Structure 1
């Protein structure tokens, strides 16, 4: 029997991971029963349109259903009863802001017999970003961009954004049931964050917020970010008690709220492991919660590859989300392509195949999901006159893999369960 093609194996494993996280497959088994009153569907994220379509396909035709969700440009789908708005990510725009404000107004019309069904997925923090009074959308974008460029983790970024926006940090749930006697709130969540904490996913529109405005100020200081005066003034007024903080654990507004994670990084990793094992390759899931600098994570993976090189054929799988701290002048590329380029250099002469991609189909802000690494990647680059070490230093991983024809371009997958990494050993 011929050995399976490593490139095909890796690409098919990624497709298996994405397919396992498709809302059309996952969400129907987690839908609540229709209430006595009406059901309002709201939400945001890169999977929002596919989640809305899944609700429509499985909601009783005679039960009231309406709503509004916002997703990233080009991630929309046709729907009949739930409106889908497309907006900007990772930096917010006016379309997302307007949609977020409409959702709050709609939620406030609900009564005790009604249901707010919130469809939450990664990307919702930016897509539902309606700034607080006194802070402009431009200023919110400025702070978000600075945090992204400083290598802040998603938890750090959300700690700041929660206190500068109106929907996040439990404020959507509070709009539906300010005193705990309003509408029931059921949130269905696709997790794209390490740890699957509902308060971190899309900044937790229906989850209690354990962070404070003081924490937000501390994060800005930690990453050396000088915010616009209006941002600092708002956070300082909040610390002083002049402005209200976000609803905290134990607040009565959460008495009728359920936050349920229906898919996460492990969902995709387990499906990929089954794919490899069906082809006779042992699969080891290292972790579904890898975080940290992409280059440092690559060096750790390289050490594992060298230690496991004689145990092949073997697939080493991991999920989670790394970060990249950019230089003032930098090239193009997301965290997955950067991980692969750093892995290639760390492996040196150790042969391995690898794939790293984001399950949402977008690596950072580029048009690729990720890239592929082959045992001859560095040799092919050298033959083209490309200096791999320089490309990495300049954060130009996109240009590096584009020149080799090894970018993975899927287009929008309309799901989002974080990054997927696979390293394949023992195959030629």
Structure 2
């Protein structure tokens, strides 16, 4: 089978290209820019385009399928040529569904926690040598790829993202998977550029629950009121399994999960991660892993990439990096760190970087999100606001939105860097939260000043 990728260099797209290459498919692709590590990984398999750009002459009638990435535009020259030839054009999630039609599809959805829960499930299955196909949105320790596809495996585990499928397919990705087994971890408004109202955003999760095949199941976080409303409002004939945060304790900076066999030490921490563990356990049990085997494996789970990732430590201080950027994720992450280290000064550095975080109305959703920490710092670049063609955001607006008068705000990368590196951090925990890079801040160099 011959497949062409339009925008092959994306994090998800290049992983899918590599997975299909491993299956023996003939893969070609194009992109206007490809960053590391995608560039090297594609080159090693002979899949890196000879030159960057869009080349409609690459598209001919011998191509069996075209996979279109979100990075491309709807007027992409290669896309237009494929449409002209009447080729079959798939979005990324649409093609994953085609690859899994005859498998049991396990889909993990939610505004937050879906990457971590998917990672937990895959960690447990790998620990017990249970082979499954999968797609997850982060690079996992012990896994070479973010996508793995075979003909023989019975299960496929998919992280169910609510963002759009492609430039010409405006359906949320997780609407296309038609799960047999599904999980819904939480609902908190996000992606305001695509879902301009809260009601519109929530309706996407209702559609996700309704897309579960008849006789399938939904495992859901009963501590989230919106999730409960969505589940109770669905008339889909499916089994419903609620879960909640299990009892746990913290002793000398280590979290222990309460089990019938006694306290189980964990590598991860935070109430939200304990809640994620409860959801992952339910899913693993539905996949044939009993409770004792789940606990044995989950104790060694150290987290998904960029999720409360420890990047520095001294005798008295620690540095964590987290992908948190939406209000609910920021609140959960900061609360987790303060609970884990109550005797240390917790300093949070949050970068506002996304379209939603610069929206005047959405900014109000951040109220109280940084209340748990001892010191709060917000960094953003006014140029980023201009690039997104949004109304100017002022420091005064941000202080008002977070409702924290001692909030420190930086809008210049150099000034922020001097502030971060010009201090003492004895008996402190530094928490950096962003989906960006703080204007090029070298986080690794911070290890030298602890």
Same fold (TM over 0.5): no
Q: Using CA pairs under 8 Å that are at least 6 residues apart, name the structure with larger relative contact order, 1 or 2.
A: 1
Q: TM (normalized to structure 2)?
A: 0.30
- Larger fraction in helix: 1
